[in-house]
Amino acid sequence: MELIDGKAISEQVKKEIAQEVAQIIAKGGKQPHLAVIIVGHDGGSETYVAHKVKSCEQVGFKSTRIAFEEDITEEQLLSEIHKLNEDPDVDGFIVQLPLPKHLDEQKVIEAIDYRKDVDGFHPINVGRTNIGLPSFVSATPAGILELLKRYQIETDGKKVVIIGRSNIVGKPMASLLIQKGYPGNATVTICHSHTKNLKEVVREADIIIAAMGSPKFVTADMVKDGATVIDVGTTRVPDPSRKSGFRLTGDVDFENVAPKCAYITPVPGGVGPMTICSLLKNTLLAGKKAIYK
Ligand code: GUN
Which residue type does 15 have? Answer: K
d(CA 195, CA 205): 15
* Matching fold, domains 28-113 and 139-272: yes
Taking each helix axis as running N to C, give the angle between helix 6-26 and helix 139-150, from 0 to 180 degrees, rounded to the nearest 10: 100
Q: Are 46 and 65 in contact (CB under 8 A)?
A: no
Q: What is the pLDDT of residue 243?
A: 92
Cα–Cα distances in angstroms (integers) from residue 93 to residues 9, 36, 250, 258, 293, in the given order? 24, 6, 28, 37, 16
Q: Does 139-272 carry CATH code 3.30.300.20?
A: no
Cα–Cα distances in angstroms (integers) from residue 205 to residues 6, 72, 180, 190, in the given order? 22, 45, 20, 11
Q: What is the pLDDT of residues 15-26, one digit of tens each?
A: 999 999 999 999
Q: What is the pLDDT of residue 99?
A: 98
Half-sphere exposure of 276 (CA within 13 A, CB side): 25
Phi, psi of 142 (to 5 degrees): -65, -40
Catalytic (active site) residue 52: yes
Q: SS3 of 288, please?
A: coil
pLDDT by residue for the chain (293 residues), tens digit each? 999 999 999 999 999 999 999 999 999 999 999 999 999 999 999 999 999 999 999 999 999 999 999 999 999 999 999 999 999 999 999 999 999 999 999 999 999 999 999 999 999 999 999 999 999 999 999 999 999 999 999 999 999 999 999 999 999 999 999 999 999 999 999 999 999 999 999 999 999 999 999 999 999 999 999 999 999 999 999 999 999 999 999 999 999 999 999 999 999 999 999 999 999 999 999 999 999 98
Catalytic residue among 5, 91, 117, 119: 119
Q: What is the pLDDT of residue 62?
A: 98
Q: What is the pLDDT of residues 197-232, one digit of tens each?
A: 999 999 999 999 999 999 999 999 999 999 999 999
Q: What is the pLDDT of residue 45?
A: 96
Q: What is the pLDDT of residue 56?
A: 98
Q: What is the pLDDT of residue 26?
A: 98
Q: What atom of ligand 1 comes closest to residue 279's alpha carbon?
A: 6
Residue 278 CB–ligand 1 contact under 6 Å: no
Catalytic (active site) residue 5: no
Cα of 238 vs centre of ligand 1, distance in Å, is 22
Our mutation pick for probing the ligand 1 site, out of 47, 119, 283, counting the most ligand atoms within 8 A of Cβ, is 119
User: Domain limits of the chain?
Assistant: 28-113, 139-272
Terminus-to-terminus CA distance in the chain, angstroms?
44
Catalytic (active site) residue 119: yes
Q: What is the pLDDT of residue 258?
A: 98
Supply the CATH classification number for the domain 28-113.
Answer: 3.40.50.10860
Q: What is the pLDDT of residue 194?
A: 98
Q: What is the pLDDT of residue 159?
A: 98
